[in-house]
A = this chain, B = another copy of it.
């Protein structure tokens, strides 16, 4: 079965907004074994909407609309779909009463324009929307002699997601042949895409019935494996087989085998080892701390640390001797190590990280160019320093530096 998604709203045709609902919907319906073959984005224009709906109904078995269900004159999805299908709209009194109750509960009177949100395509099932006034609609049947499913969903992402999960997923599944999807995701930090692919392609290519996708970005490679089978067990066995073989090849470069983020994995290892972490960041300016603390409950293993931007602060908060900075420069192997050791001591943590480098765009020299970063990890057993020359802009250099530091912690603890 194939599907397409039509996102409705003139704001999605400006430079400022992009349609993100379709990524969620694609993920959901791919899991059901339905392929997305087309996406389109239409403004709040009746004729263009009707044409887009007609093209969609011609092309695809499932046509999903997001947006354009609100109360304003610009909200035209219901009317356009009715026109494209040649089906009338009927005002649903029960839906209308629900909208009125929603307003009354807040002490407001419903303004008359809201009534159009109770207009339902003849024959459609109303899909209740607990998070907004406009309900969704589901209509399946033969249109122009083709078997089609038409789904209208509200535009706000939290409304759309809740409604899809509660009302659409199982309805769609019931229309499909029974097939269970099993997936695995392996994540790898700080290795290049071509290097990873060269090592693992000979392996995953042996497993023709498992679909493998490589995604690369920002210091991380993701390997997605998926397959379908008549039972969940059969699908899982098949996907595990290839994932395990690939993982064995990549060994400890794989940091996550079930989709967890690097920040989460570092948290797991710290808790498993009953260890705590402190950081002293120069060029990353707080990014490493921000990433670690983006995980809820990180106070169980993250002590804190220092943003040692000025040289005097490296001395004041992380105890780096001023004459060491003088002698080796702030961006040096020695200062990175002293930051890691100093912050570990000051915060009484099991592990200390020190990062110092040149994030650019200014501040580079022939000896210490933009992109040069020293990463140090101090523990009871000593201090390790990794030097790297990252390419790219300030944002990329800082991201890579913080990723490498996180990966150092992981490797130390595993």
Instruction: State the Cβ distance, A363 to closest chain B Cβ, in Å.
Output: 8
Report B-chain residues with C-beta under 8 Å of the C-beta of A45.
Answer: 37
Instruction: State the Cβ distance, A220 to closest chain B Cβ, in Å.
Output: 12
B296 close to A286 (CB less than 8 A):
no
Instruction: State the Cβ distance, A134 to closest chain B Cβ, in Å.
Output: 19
Task: State in angstroms the CA–CA spacing of A17 and B39 once bound together.
Answer: 13
Contact of A309 among B12, B284, B299, B348 (CB under 8 A): B299
In the complex, the chain B residue whose C-beta lies closest to that of A41 is B39
A303 close to B293 (CB less than 8 A):
no
For the complex formed by this chain, how many copies does it contain in all?
2
A213 close to B361 (CB less than 8 A):
no
Contact of A296 among B18, B24, B361 (CB under 8 A): B361
Query: A321-352, CB under 8 A of B: which get 1 and which 0?
Result: 00000000000000000000000001110000
A290 close to B293 (CB less than 8 A):
no
Report B-chain residues with C-beta under 8 Å of the C-beta of A361.
Answer: 296
Within 8 Å of chain B (Cβ to Cβ): is A369? Answer: no
Task: State in angstroms the CA–CA spacing of A298 and B362 once bound together.
Answer: 11
Within 8 Å of chain B (Cβ to Cβ): is A38? Answer: yes
Within 8 Å of chain B (Cβ to Cβ): is A182? Answer: no
Within 8 Å of chain B (Cβ to Cβ): is A310? Answer: yes
Within 8 Å of chain B (Cβ to Cβ): is A266? Answer: no
Task: State in angstroms the CA–CA spacing of A39 and B281 once bound together.
Answer: 43
Within 8 Å of chain B (Cβ to Cβ): is A15? Answer: yes
A residues contacting B by CB (< 8 A) are: 12-16, 18-20, 22-24, 26-27, 30, 35-43, 45, 48, 51-52, 55, 59, 213, 215, 224, 278-279, 281, 283-294, 296-299, 302-310, 312-313, 316-317, 346-348, 359-363, 394-395, 398
